[in-house]
Structure 1
Amino acid sequence: MIFVLGATGKVGRHLVPALLDAGAEVRALTRDPAKARIDPRAEAVRGDLGTADLPALLDGADRVFVLTPGHNAEQEVAVAGAAAQAGVTHLVKLSTTGVYFGQKDPISVAHAEGEQAVREAGPAWTILRPGAFMDNRFAWLPSIQEEDAVYVPDTDPPSALIHVRDIAAVAALVLTTSGHEGATYELTGGEALTTRQQVDILAEALGRPLKYVEESESAAKDRLIRKFGWPAQAIDGLFALKRESAPNEHVVFDTVERLLGRPPLTFAAWARENASAYHRHE
C-alpha cells in the first residue's frame, strides 16, 4: 500500500488517481476528508502532520510519497523516522532542482534537509527534483481577468517549466516499479521559454491579445502590496528565491522523456487546458 502525503496539492491530486490506475492501493492524507476531493477508490484519512499519530497512519504502508506543507524539514525528518520504524520499504521525496544547483534560498535549504533525512532513514529512497511549475502562471489570473495584462519583473529568466501531471506520472512510475531505488531525478519541461513567449502562447490559447508589461522589482512590490495586500516580507522572500533560481531555470533535463518514454507536456498544452480559468471579469 502506498501512503501519499500532500494528496490534495498540485502534484498529489494527479498522483493519487495515477497510482490507482496502475493498480496500487492508496491511503491519502488530508486535513478534512469531507471537503477534500480525493479519488473515491483511495482510502482518505484525516490527519495533520504537526499533530498526527504517524505510526497509526503508516500502519500497513510499504511505500510513502513524502511531501509536507511548506516544505517542512522537521516534519519530513519525523515522517522518515516513523516510516523506518513502521517497516516501510521505499520513501519517495518530492524536492526541488534548487538542491541540485546548491541554491541557498529557504525553500531549497529546507528541501536539502528533507532529502538528507529520507536518505538516512533506512528504507530505500528516491528523490524527485522538479523545477518551476507551469501552475505558477496562475499568479497571472487577476491581471489577465481584469485588464488582459501580465506584469513581469524585468529580471524574470527563461524557464523550462514543468507540467505537474508529468511530475505525478514520474512519481507514480517510481512508486509502482522497481529499479529507482537510490536514484535522484531532476525534472523539467522540454524547453526553456522566455516570459514573453509564455504570454504569447497563453494569449493564443485564450484567443485574445495580452499586454506584456515589464516592471522593476520595486514597482512589482508596490503593486502587490497595494492591490493584493501581500506582506512585504513575503514579497522579498519571493524575489530572493527568484534571484537564486534565475541563472538555473533555463536548464533542461531529459529525465521525463527518459523515464516515461514520451516528450514532456508543453506549456501550450497547459495553456489550452487552463484557458477557461482566465475568462475576463466583466
Structure 2
Amino acid sequence: MILVLGATGKVGRALVPALLDAGAPVRALTRDPARAVVDPRAEVVRGDLDHVESLPLAGVDRVFVLTSGHGGDTVAQETALAQAAARAGVSRLVKLSTTGVHFGQTDPISLAHARAEQAIREAGPAWTILRPGAFMANRRFWLQSARTDGAVYVPEGDPASALIHVRDIAAVATLVLTTPGHEGATYELTGGEALTPEQQVKILGEALGRPVRYVEEPEPAARARLLALGWPARAVDGAFELKRQSAGREHVVFDTVARLLGREPLTFADWAREAVG
C-alpha cells in the first residue's frame, strides 16, 4: 500500500491515478475526505500532519511525502512523519523537494526542504528525493487576466525557466515508488527547454487562439495581485525570495525525466492546450 500525502494538490492529483494505473494500491491522505476530489479507485483517508498519531500508516509500505515547504512547520511535520513511518515498518519514503536545495539556496522554501530531506534520510527507511523546478501549473493564474484583459502581468526580471509539467513529476514518482533501483537516489527534475516569460505568454495566446499582451509590473504590484488571488502572505514572501535566488539558475535543464522515463518531457505548449481546454 502506498500512502500519498498532498493527494488533492497539483502533484497528488496527477500521482494518485498514475499509481493506480500502474496497479499499485493507493491510500490518499486528506484533512476532509468528504470534500476531497480523488480518483474513486483510491482509498481516501483522513489525517493531519500536525498530529502523526492520526496518520493511517497500518499496512503501508511506501509513502510519498509532500508538504508545502512554506516555513519551518513543514520540517517538523516531515520529521515526525518519517519517524512514525519507520516505527510502523514503512520500507520506502519518496520526498518531493525542490531544485533550490540542489543549488544551495537559502530562501525559506529551499531551506525547509533541505532540512526535511535530511530528516527523511536519517529516519531509517530507504529513501528517494525528487527535486522539481518551477511548475507549469503555477502559470494557471495567468488565464484570468489573459481572458479578461488580453494581457498577462509578470513581475519585472522574471527569468527564463525550464518549467516542468506535474504529470512528468507524477510519472517519475510512480516509477520510483513502484520499481526497485532508486533507493538513495536524488533526482533533479525540469522540463526539456527554458522559456522566457514572454515566450510562455505567446504560447498561451496561441492556445487561447488570440493575441495576449506580455506586461511586466513592479514587484509591489505583483505581490498585491497574488494576495488578491488568495495566496497567504508567507507564501508570497517565500515565493519572491525563492525567485530572487533562483533567477540565475531556472534556465538549467536536467535530462532526468527523459533518462528515467525514456521519452521527452511534456512541453509548455502541451500544458497550455490542456489548461485552456
Deviation (angstroms), 1:148:
1.1
Name the CA distance, whole Å, in 1 between partners of 2:230 and 2:29: 31
Percent identity for Structure 1 against Structure 2: 74
- Which amino acid in 2 is paired with 1:253? F
Deviation (angstroms), 1:205:
0.6
Name the CA distance, whole Å, in 2 between partners of 1:229 and 1:84: 36
Aligned to 2:58: 59
Name the CA distance, whole Å, in 1 between partners of 2:192 and 2:127: 26
Deviations 1:51-83 (Å, cap 9, x if unpaired)? 3425x6111111110112445111000010001
Name the CA distance, whole Å, in 2 between partners of 1:233 and 1:115: 21
Deviations 1:25-57 (Å, cap 9, x if unpaired)? 111101111211111211111111113425x61
SS, match of residue 119 in structure 1: helix
Superposed counterparts of 1:229-240, under 5 Å: 235-240=236-241
Cα distance change on mapping 1:219 and 1:46 into 2, 3 Å: closer
Cα distance change on mapping 1:266 and 1:110 into 2, 3 Å: same
Aligned to 1:280: none
Deviations 1:104-139 (Å, cap 9, x if unpaired)? 111100000110000000110000000000011012
Match of 2:86 among 63, 84, 87: 84
Aligned to 1:246: 247
Cα distance change on mapping 1:81 and 1:103 into 2, 3 Å: same
Aligned to 1:162: 164
Deviation (angstroms), 1:224:
5.4
Name the CA distance, whole Å, in 1 between partners of 2:128 and 2:236: 32
SS, match of residue 10 in structure 2: coil
- Which amino acid in 2 is paired with 1:3? L
Query: What is the TM-score of this pair, normalised by structure 1?
Result: 0.92
Name the CA distance, whole Å, in 2 between partners of 1:19 and 1:249: 29
Cα distance change on mapping 1:107 and 1:236 into 2, 3 Å: closer
Deviation (angstroms), 1:214:
1.5
- Which amino acid in 1 is paired with 2:57? L
Superposed counterparts of 1:1-282, under 5 Å: 1-54=1-54, 57-70=56-69, 72-221=74-223, 235-276=236-277
- Which amino acid in 1 is paired with 2:63? V
Deviation (angstroms), 1:237:
3.6
SS, match of residue 140 in structure 2: helix
Cα distance change on mapping 1:207 and 1:128 into 2, 3 Å: same
Aligned to 1:279: none
Deviation (angstroms), 1:231:
7.1
Cα distance change on mapping 1:212 and 1:49 into 2, 3 Å: same
SS, match of residue 57 in structure 1: coil
Gaps of 5+ in 2: none
Superposition RMSD in Å: 1.8
Deviations 1:139-158 (Å, cap 9, x if unpaired)? 21332232011111221100
Moved more, 231-240 or 247-256: 231-240
Residue pair 2:49, 2:77 contacting (<8 A) in 1 also: yes
Name the CA distance, whole Å, in 2 between partners of 1:169 and 1:58: 24
- Which amino acid in 1 is paired with 2:269? A
Deviation (angstroms), 1:219:
4.1
Name the CA distance, whole Å, in 2 between partners of 1:167 and 1:9: 13
Deviation (angstroms), 1:222:
5.5
- Which amino acid in 2 is paired with 1:143? S
Moved more, 229-238 or 242-251: 229-238
Name the CA distance, whole Å, in 2 between partners of 1:231 and 1:166: 27
Cα distance change on mapping 1:157 and 1:26 into 2, 3 Å: same
Name the CA distance, whole Å, in 2 between partners of 1:178 and 1:207: 44
Residue pair 2:69, 2:113 contacting (<8 A) in 1 also: no
